[in-house]
Chain A
Amino acid sequence: MLKLNVNGKETVFEGDPSMPLLWFLRDEAGLTGSKFGCGMALCGACTVHLDGQPTRACVTPVAAAQGRAITTIEAVHTDPVGKNVQAAWRKLDVVQCGYCQSGQIMAATALLKSNPAPSDADIDAAMSGNVCRCATYQRIRAAIHDAAQSAPKA
């Protein structure tokens, strides 16, 4: 039996410990905001945070998440940076189909938490693992800059 901390809540999982975290979140925990896009860590639609680190849930065994804080899109607003990123996404209307955007927001939040004022090159480096077939990239870039500028000063 695995003990997991999902969005601040303790929960247990008694199934296959090698199952990717994504399917635990989506099919067992009912948290469907993290998406299945490729199953091979190629598109980033499944991105969640493990202890704040952006992680591809589709290739991370659920057992590897034990003892770590799992944060998904459903709770990213509890982090001031995450809330700021979501606000920037809405202000600039980044989304189109929206399917990749949970992963984009999780990746962008992790970037801004480690680098509060990223350059375009920093954004390319941090975000190029996240595919958007609608190609909303220009607005993703703008929204990250916007969130960086509107961040509450420490």
Chain B
Amino acid sequence: MRILERFSGSVASTTAALELPAPANLSRRAFLQGVGGLAVGVCIGPALSACKPASAPSGGGSATAATVFEPNAFVRITPDNRVIIVAKHLEMGQGTYTGLATLAAEELDADWDQVSVEGAPADAKRYGNAQTGGSQGTGGSNAMASSHEQMRRAGAAARAMLVSAAAQEWKVPVGSLTVSKGVVSHAESGRKATFGELAEAAGKQAVPETLVLKDPKDFKLIGQQKLGRKDSSGKTDGSAMFTQDMKLPDMLVAVVAYAPSFGGKLKSVDAAKARAITGVVDVVQFDGGTGYRGGVAVLAKNTWVARQGRDALVTEWDDSAALKLGSTELMAQYRTLLDKPGAVAKHEGDAVAVLAKAGKVVQAEYEFPHLAHAAMEPMNCLVQIRDQDCEIWNGEQFQTVDQANVAKLLGLKPEQVTIHQLYAGGSFGRRANPKSDYVLEAVSLAKAARAQGHKVPVKLVWMREDDMRAGYFRPMFLHRVRAALDKDGGILAWEQRVIGESIIKGTPFEPFMIKDGVDHTSVEGCFEHYAAANVHIDLHSPETGVPVQWWRSVGHTHTAFAKESMIDELAAQAGVDPFEFRRKAMADHPRHRAVLELAAEKAGWGTPLKPGEGKARRGRGIAVQESFSSIVAEVVEVTITDGKLRVDRVVCAVDCGLAINPDVVRAQMEGGIGFALSAALHNAITLDKGAVQETNFHTYTPLRINEMPVIEVHIVASPEPPTGVGEPGVPPLAPALANAIYAATGQRIRKLPLVKQLKA
């Protein structure tokens, strides 16, 4: 038996000493001009700029390198006529690969069928996100917003060089050439050449100094209703590669025993039974650190053997420093803050004084549980540590943060950490962990294994139960809203207290995202786009010891529910139709009002629902929320029979600016609605004595096909720049659903998940 004297497996709460690149000094416009292939050349500079990889198309390189045309960081054209688009964003289901390829292929005039997509490696100089200060990562639904001009310029630059090559070879003016579906043509002579045929010559052309992008009326791919996702094929024949699927020569798989409670530490482990299992290669104890868990890992060639070994470990844990509380106690602690003023997030007029004198104050509290992301692919990460570098394979959502954190742990420079991109089997925010939790866990484990002589690649695999209990949940929240109407039925005053743990405190984002004690992500979307003269919103951010993190649509997951539920209560108080009440109260926001009206019109708002059979009661609810610069309104129809709820139909309207891929927009609204419905109906992570009670999909029950409503999505035609769609479909669903239940039954549900609250 091996006794471990000291073991650091706690999730520490100290601030990570990681510094992100400061927000860009360059203005957004300057950045976009910079990446256009001009002197600044941040990302799409001339072929031999500093950010160029080894292959050098403009002469000098190897024969292979010389024939692949690689005008910038985002476009590669091969002699066999393939156009490869390099995606700086993770594809986790939201359709970014397709979106990024659409933008570049549009300006390139490529044939859609010749286009494929590869994930970019970690390299912020080439693949940084302009909307997050140049740090490389995917989040905030900003991939299209950050890339639409950049990717179009990348395509346009490549096209210009291909045309220039053809003009030179054929000795004709550039202006006499046309490009269509990957073929450059000279009408007069009838000459044609494919991109592949021109690739080598194009690599010898100068990068154009000026680029003219297409007039939107000439778009052939952008806005096309049905273009075809670039990841459909590989994801329907089993060939798409996820981290879970990676296998390298001599690779070992690790499955880990963890403390049952947050902050628990290993007291002792007896690994004799594990070591006795055929195929178990070794047992490795490894340290946790700031934001990541340690544990005891069992290594094997085969995942099942590693799991059997893990399950055979006999461990004792020291929970003296561990979280001891349960969800009930944590919510009770939140409640003690309800009457104490918090950090002020918004203050206009004097809501408190006005409400003190108001005749009728409508007051409500809204409760939200911890939520797990529960992506289909449990978290995992493959690591190869060598003497002077480290290689990582991951569905990588946070390259710059992870690269810096890994480098720090290993005493390397960030550029010595290579990160290879793979598909992610869902994320919903989980793979963008500001403390790099599962990545650092994998690295710490691989480091400890190496110290025991295993200088091989190590793949950390979480079982579903490990994933469910790892924390980094959407925090619990409690809101109290008090509001009153003016004599004309408008909103006189709105006072809101928000209580919930900060997801930003202790992360590298704290300097940018917490101002005057207010974590913006805790209050985003609280009370916006409605008119009221007196508004007061304040915030408490208690620290509980439960690791928390953003979860698809972040603060809007709870703020939209509180806002749109209270708006409905105010409409009822005013005796006004909930749609008409909203419409009037957002008169100053025509874009929001248009989305609301479109959803209502398409849903047949105002026309009676077809009555249910027997005792069935039916109702319709509406909600609207702007999140991540996109506006979404949803109308939900429900049927309730003997306390049993059926969500029949959801009609969704979305304004996301220019819809680059309308079918991807529809898919994201459909999926966002289903994801939100799962949480609204069923999902909660509950703690008891510091331990997560849910383990797998029988206790944390995801939405299944038999509960999926019919969803209709309507996209507002808009010439505005594109905004996000990955998250904005989520927020309006839960309040629209609760409002529909009220319409059907008169019961107001103010606590999620709501199925447990529903009266018979």
Contacts and interface: CB of A to CB of B under 8 A. Distances in A.
A35 B423 contact: no
A42 B708 contact: no
A95 B303 CA distance: 26
Contacts of B675: 133-135
B674 A135 contact: yes
B236 A101 contact: yes
Contact of B670 (A33, A123, A131, A135): A135
A77 interface: yes
Nearest to A140: B705
Interface stretch (B87-95, B168-176, B330-338, B625-633): B87-95
A151 interface: no
A30 to B, nearest CB: 7
A34 B702 CA distance: 20
B634 interface: no
A102 interface: yes
Contact of A31 (B238, B423, B463): B238
Nearest to B663: A93
Interface in A26-77: 26-28, 30-40, 42-43, 45, 72-74, 77
A133 B376 contact: yes
B464 A137 contact: no
B562 interface: no
Given A16-B278, A27-B304, A38-B464, A97 B237 contact: no
Contacts of B302: 15, 19, 23, 27-28
Contacts of B279: 15-16
Interface in B651-680: 663-664, 667, 670-675, 677-678
Interface centre among A43, A45, A138, A140 (most CB of B within 10 A): A138
B244 interface: yes
Given A96-B94, A99-B242, A128 B705 contact: yes
A42 B233 CA distance: 26
Interface string B316-346: 0000000000000000000000000000000
Contacts of A132: 376, 674, 705
B105 interface: no
B181 interface: no
B299 to A, nearest CB: 13
Interface in B243-274: 244-245, 247, 253
B228 interface: yes
B27 interface: no
B585 interface: no
Nearest to B677: A135
Contacts of B383: none
Nearest to B428: A133
A3 interface: no
B223 to A, nearest CB: 16
B39 interface: no
B374 A133 contact: yes
Interface string A103-119: 00100000000000000
A33 B232 contact: no
Contact of B673 (A32, A96, A135): A135
Given A73-B237, A97-B424, A99-B376, A130 B705 contact: yes
Contacts of A16: 278-279, 304-305
B301 interface: yes
B235 interface: yes
Interface of A: 15-16, 19-20, 23, 26-28, 30-40, 42-43, 45, 72-74, 77, 86, 89-90, 93-102, 105, 123-125, 127-141
6 closest A-B pairs by CB: A33-B238, A135-B674, A99-B425, A98-B235, A97-B93, A96-B93
26 contacts: A15-B279, A19-B304, A23-B304, A27-B304, A32-B238, A33-B237, A35-B376, A35-B377, A36-B461, A40-B697, A43-B702, A45-B376, A89-B236, A93-B232, A94-B232, A95-B232, A98-B93, A98-B235, A99-B242, A130-B704, A131-B376, A131-B702, A132-B705, A134-B426, A136-B671, A141-B705
Interface of B: 92-95, 226, 228-229, 231-242, 244-245, 247, 253, 278-279, 301-305, 307, 374-378, 423-428, 461, 463-464, 663-664, 667, 670-675, 677-678, 696-698, 702-706, 708, 710-711
Given A93-B664, A133-B374, 7 more contacts: A16-B305, A30-B247, A43-B697, A97-B377, A102-B238, A130-B704, A137-B703
